[in-house]
Homo-oligomer: A and B are copies of this chain.
Amino acid sequence: MSSCRWRPGTLRKVVRRNIPILTWLPKYNLDTFVSDLIAGVTVGLTVMPQGLAYATLAGLEPQYGLYSAFMGCFVYLILGSCKDITIGPTALMALMTYQQVVGRNPDFAVLLCFLSGCVQLLMSVLHLGVLVDFISIPVTVGFTSATSVIIAVSQLKGLLGLSFTSSGFVDNVKKVYQQIGETRLGDTVLGGVCIVILLLLRKLKDVKLGPKDDKPSERQRVLMKIFWLVSTSRNALVVIVCSVLAFMFHTSEKGLPFLLTGTVRSGLPPFGLPPFSTVIGNQSYSFMDMCSELGSSIVLVPIIAVLGNVAIAKAFASGHSVNATQELLTLGLCNILGSFASSMPVTGSFSRSAVNHASGVKTPLGGLYTGVLILLALSLLTPYFYFIPKASLAAVIICAVIFMIEYEVVQPMWKSSRKDLIPTFATFLLCLMIGVEYGILVGVGINIVFLLYPSARPAIHVERKMTHSGKEYLMVTPGNSLYFPAVDFIRTNVGRVGVKQGSSQLPVIVDCRFILGADFTAAKGIAALIDDFHKRKQPIYFYNPSPEVVSVFKGANLEEFVHIRSEEELDFILQAHVEMLQEGRPDENYSMLPALELKEITTSVANGAGHYSSQRPDTVESLTDDDYTRTPLLKSSAPRAEIRKI
């Protein structure tokens, strides 16, 4: 606290930025409580059967799905920055875990969860959140829409009462198509009715009662409040009503016309350190053995988890910026703490976040109710969740995700920046066809290629110009900084411009206004360019380069680099060139031209007017390097009296 930077106010600010709950909890009230409770319970009712399914997908026993579902909720409500996100088991994480668990044991999944958390925490400490800035809206839109389609299609199975396991979107479509004949009437009817009811209830909260342009009566206001409550709790209502229905049918003698979630093994998971060694069959694995078995997934799983999580956060942030470093920290803690309760790797769940959002969640506290519900479920309520009909859950999930398909963004994107449709559709199609992780990676890759292209192939603007005193020259303006990918291109094209003109002796002025930076490769390329021009005996000068660029070029021993700072200097140097042409054969004398004995020209640019003063040569030697870059000084080695006179 002795340092001025660490006044209590600053500390409070830092703490508040890193623990978002401190910002929103003081404002918590009954309204937000009701909204959060409804959403939290609905998400809780959704995560039960999803968790069981995803655990099976990951090659684990069903209860691992529930073990993975609650810790994330508790951590995220304290540290999370996006109210809609719910952390827990997801299809993507389950599939990536499956690769590591198959033929081994659950210890590998739990250790992978722990290590993923550690990697995420490390990335957060190294502030690698910048990586997440490379997920653009096009990629987010493609990812969101594809995931919506994938999840909706994956729920068709439950909606139609089919039973099969599938390995992805394409497989799912194929199997639904193959088994469409085995559709169960009961499930389909129940699912269809649920969807219709859900869509109608969704509209209920927009119903306006009372006369137009007038305030509604007290009774109308209460009724609208009830409508809103029913509308936002529609998902939970539908699940509960269907479960009661199932319970009633279950006790009747006819048997059930639709499939139920089934038995969930109860009991809390064992809490403790993640397994740092394990035994499979007779073989025991040390920590290092397990790590080497997990291999690259120790890095890939956490990165894909973060990319997915932030893509979801961006999708729900509706234009607000997402603090990626904070999300990394939170996700890391979710995984580390989760691994203490036998969790498999977790990340933000798109489908449940959509359900959360659609249920009208107001703060991350919704996660509290979800988490508590899962703990209750594990210890007490498991028998009751047995009766949740699969079809009603499928209906809830489908109705949550179909509104996330962002077809309406295509039109403004077309009008604004057509090129952005390429990463959008590439991400969308690859997510569907090959996998969500590849879709995101390829989308980001295409975006980076677009970013890099101007660095490699900058626009080069060429103009034939004249100074005030009537000297003609070619003004060449590269439209980007000078970094290595552009060097050969600039050199070739500036050279071509110089040659193409009728008079090949026309001086070329390179306007450096957009050259904000340069590197060693560029310096060498510019040296070669200047060399090309000297061989052709054609002058080339650089107009107004920034001090940074000059220093890069100077460092690379670019002695022949002549730069000028103002129109007047340009005029002066071109005059010198013309005089040379008049005096003698330019091809004999040219090589001395860039080595003008100007010594120093001081230009005072006030209101656009400039003047020169030629000084004695000895003052030049005392100029420091710093002065060199600030003063428009043209260095000399071969004196020429004709040029010195002004």
Contacts and interface: CB of A to CB of B under 8 A. Distances in A.
Interface of A: 130, 133-138, 319-322, 412-417, 419-420, 447-448, 450-452, 454-457, 459, 479-481, 483-489, 491-492, 514, 516-521, 523-524, 527-528, 531, 551-557, 608
B517 A134 contact: no
Contact of A451 (B479, B483, B524, B531): B483
Contact of A417 (B130, B320, B519): B519
Contacts of A135: 484
A133 B454 contact: no
Given A454-B481, A488-B133, A417 B518 contact: yes
Contacts of A321: 488, 491-492, 528
A576 to B, nearest CB: 27
A520 B413 contact: yes
Nearest to A553: B416
B447 A557 contact: no
Nearest to A483: B451
Contacts of A133: 456, 484-489
26 contacts: A130-B457, A133-B487, A133-B489, A134-B456, A134-B484, A135-B484, A136-B519, A136-B521, A137-B484, A319-B524, A319-B531, A412-B555, A412-B556, A412-B557, A413-B520, A416-B523, A416-B554, A419-B519, A420-B520, A448-B448, A448-B452, A450-B483, A451-B452, A451-B455, A479-B516, A480-B516
A523 B483 contact: no
A84 to B, nearest CB: 18
A interface majority secondary structure: helix
A485 B523 contact: no
Contacts of A319: 524, 527-528, 531
A415 to B, nearest CB: 3
Contacts of A454: 481, 516-517
The residue in A459, A491, A524 that gathers the most chain B C-beta atoms within 10 A of its C-beta is: A524
B514 A514 contact: yes
Contacts of A514: 514, 516
Contacts of A412: 520, 555-557
Nearest to A607: B608
Contacts of A450: 483, 519
Given A133-B489, A412-B555, A448-B448, 15 more contacts: A130-B457, A133-B485, A134-B484, A136-B484, A137-B520, A321-B491, A321-B528, A412-B520, A412-B557, A416-B520, A416-B523, A417-B520, A420-B520, A450-B519, A452-B452
Contacts of A527: 319
A374 to B, nearest CB: 33
B555 A415 contact: yes
